[in-house]
Amino acid sequence: MRYRIPGGIIIKTENAAKPESQPCTYLKSLITQLPQVSSSLDYGCGKLRYTNAILEKTDTLTLVDSEVQLSRIQTLKGIKTSIRDLVGPSNRITINNNIDFPESNARFDRAFCINVLSVIPLYSKRKSVLEMIRSKLRKNGLCLFVVQYRNSDFSRMRQMQNARPWRDGFLIDSLRGFSFYGLISPEKLMAMVKTSGFNVDRVKLRDGTVYLWATRT
């Protein structure tokens, strides 16, 4: 997904996506403990770090990201391919870009928004994402939001010469374009989620990361 901020800067969120080989062990363990559901949504699927884990706990899965992220050639599962080509025709996985997804009639029992809000530089766009996810959940559907509020790598990166502060994070200007990395406190995440119409179910803090479950009532 891409966002324009003042100064004509385009933020390319695909630049911040981590490879499948770098999943969070704790998050994977959380997913494996979930009960089985009929349908799930991974909003901002990135490089498919958690796709296999989520699939083990759902009958069907919808992956959503920008068309750039879904169609560009990149290294996935050790080969040069695109997400669309890698997944191919599937009875269990549906792929939508973020532009077409709002028109989808699909509704979900469970959703995931993993390290997505923290790469969005504009507060209004974060709220739009939250409201979109809520609108796609069935009544009493759950969403797991994951953001970081403390990160040693971020502390190192923001000292780099090509870094500059921006709102609750910083920008990195590289050969691939601009990226944004934000740090969102647990209190701020809870406030955003509640303002967007969710009920906060439970919150877990671990190693500088917030894991927040929220329910659509």
pLDDT tens digits for 82-116? Answer: 999 999 989 999 999 999 999 999 999 999 999 99
| Tokens standing for residue 102 | 């709002």
Distances (CA, A) of 175 to 5, 12, 170: 18, 12, 17
What's the total number of domains in the chain? 1
115-152 per-residue burial string, b: 16 or more CB within 10 A, e: under 16: bbbbbbbeeeebeebbebbbebbeeebbbbbbbbbebe
Query: The domain spanning residue 118 has which CATH number?
Result: 3.40.50.150
Instruction: State the sign of the Cα–Cα–Cα–Cα dihedral 134, 136, 142, 144.
Output: negative
Look over the chain and give the mean of its residue pLDDT values, rounded to a whole number.
93
What value does the mean pLDDT take over residues 123-140? Answer: 96
pLDDT exceeds cutoff 90 at 72: yes
Rounded to an integer, the average pLDDT of 179-200 is: 95
Tell me how many degrees the CA angle 44-208-18 measures, rounded to the nearest 5. 35
CA dihedral 99, 165, 158, 151 (to 10 degrees): -60
Q: Which domain holds residue 205?
A: 2-216
Model pLDDT, residue 13: 87
The per-residue pLDDT for 5 is 92
Give the model's pLDDT for residue 78: 87
**Residue 211 clears pLDDT 90, i.e. is over it:** yes
pLDDT, tens only, 151-183: 777 777 777 888 888 899 989 998 889 999 999
pLDDT (tens digit, 9 = 90+) per residue, 10-38?
A: 999 888 888 777 889 999 999 999 999 99
Average pLDDT over residues 120-142: 96
First-residue to last-residue Cα distance in the chain: 28
Burial tier of 182 (Cβ tally within 10 Å: 0-12, 13-18, 19+)? buried
Residue keyed to tokens 């969102």: 184
* Mean pLDDT of all residues in 40-47: 96
What's the pLDDT at 40?
Answer: 98
